[in-house]
Amino acid sequence: MKIIVTGTRGIPGIQGGVETHCEELFPRIVSLGYEVHLIRRSCYIPDNDNLTEFKGVKLHDLYTIRKRIVETLLHTFLAVFYARFKRAQILHLHAVGPAIFAPIARLLGMKVVFTHHGPDYERSKWGPIARFTLKLGERLGVSFANEVIVISDVIQKLIIQKYNRTDTNLIFNGVNLPVNTSESYYIESLGLKPRGYVFALGRFVEEKGFDMLINAFDKLNQNEFKLVLAGDADQEESYSRKLKELAKEKNVILTGFVKGEELHQLFNNARLFVLPSYHEGMPISLLEAMSYRLPVLVSDIQANKQIPLPEDNYFVTGNEESLISALKRDLRQNFESVKYDMSMFNWDNIARQTAKVYDKILKVRK
């Protein structure tokens, strides 16, 4: 069974929720006996990356222009025809933008799986034309894909309400077991002490709410804890430039995009993890923080509230005073690690569930 994957910028080590999802999922799909090819966007591949395979997943780089919605549409259009040329049995499209080409893939004779990672058209960065395009992608993906995977029950309910499609496959995002490390050289290089900082992680885009977090943290008027933001913008824009200027002005530590040992150290030694987002699909960064048993403080959007947390772990979305009050309360308390139930977010189980979707689409009995 040949499966070709598109809709992601690429793997490995490329920033983004869909990218993390694909990097974790598809090597596991390969280990289950499936042939998986993943098409990467050339503009995101570092010059020194000459990979043709990653953990059994065959990698193919196709050209695109690095320019917001244009890059997605151009790349996916080329990827669909490339998949047909490669005689793919299944084309697996990720996210609502790429799903706009589901009808073409079907016309070319391929079976289509569409993973809906969230209503991207709700993100503040998009203008009217981009929003229309993303909404159209959602509609065409839901209407023409043979099978639809949703990563949260919130998205599942959305598809039922908007399109009356009731046969979607609910398969959550996953999280790896934490990598416990006793090393602290990286956090020390940042001027940090264990349990001496509040940690946030994500792309520098407006819907993550990092500017509000910086301002709220600054108004605590305390010197005991520091604020650390890990991540960066995919493309430098007005918001990300202003965010970095604000962080510098408020003495916030910016690490840039980090992974591996450096990221493990940041998770292992944080005092509190904060996710102030206005929009999420299924937040992998929150699941990662929970896997490290960190206390967490998150906005009360639906995507965050579907993860079973006590009410005190939520603050009112977009409300700076609510965030300030919650930060004060949590940082006054002594640090205690928290044991969460992570069983539903196991990547190996997620891979098996996804493989069953492939088997169903080709009527393979196992």
CB atoms within 10 A of CB 175: 22
What's the confidence (pLDDT) of residue 365? 61
Give, for all 366 residues of the chain, the pLDDT tens digit: 899 999 999 999 898 889 999 999 999 999 999 999 999 999 999 888 999 999 999 999 999 998 878 999 999 999 999 999 999 999 999 999 999 999 999 999 999 999 999 998 887 778 899 999 999 999 999 999 999 999 999 899 999 999 999 999 999 999 888 998 889 999 999 999 999 999 999 999 999 999 999 999 999 999 999 999 999 987 788 999 999 999 999 999 999 999 999 999 999 999 999 999 998 878 889 999 999 999 999 999 988 998 889 999 999 999 999 999 999 999 999 999 999 988 889 999 999 999 999 999 998 765
Break the chain into its structural domains and give their ranges: 2-174+346-361, 185-342
What's the confidence (pLDDT) of residue 235? 79
- Does 3.40.50.2000 match the CATH number of domain 2-174+346-361? yes
What's the confidence (pLDDT) of residue 17? 86
DSSP 312: G
What's the confidence (pLDDT) of residue 62? 96
Closest CA to 227 of 192, 197, 183: 197
pTM here is 0.81
Q: Do domains 2-174+346-361 and 185-342 have the same CATH topology?
A: yes
The C-alpha atoms of residue 151 and residue 303 are separated, in whole angstroms, by 10
Positive or negative, the Cα torsion across 342, 175, 118, 362?
negative
The C-alpha atoms of residue 4 and residue 347 are separated, in whole angstroms, by 20
What's the confidence (pLDDT) of residue 86? 96
What's the confidence (pLDDT) of residue 159? 97
* CATH number among 3.30.300.30, 3.30.465.10, 3.90.1520.10, 3.40.50.2000, domain 185-342: 3.40.50.2000
What's the confidence (pLDDT) of residue 366? 56
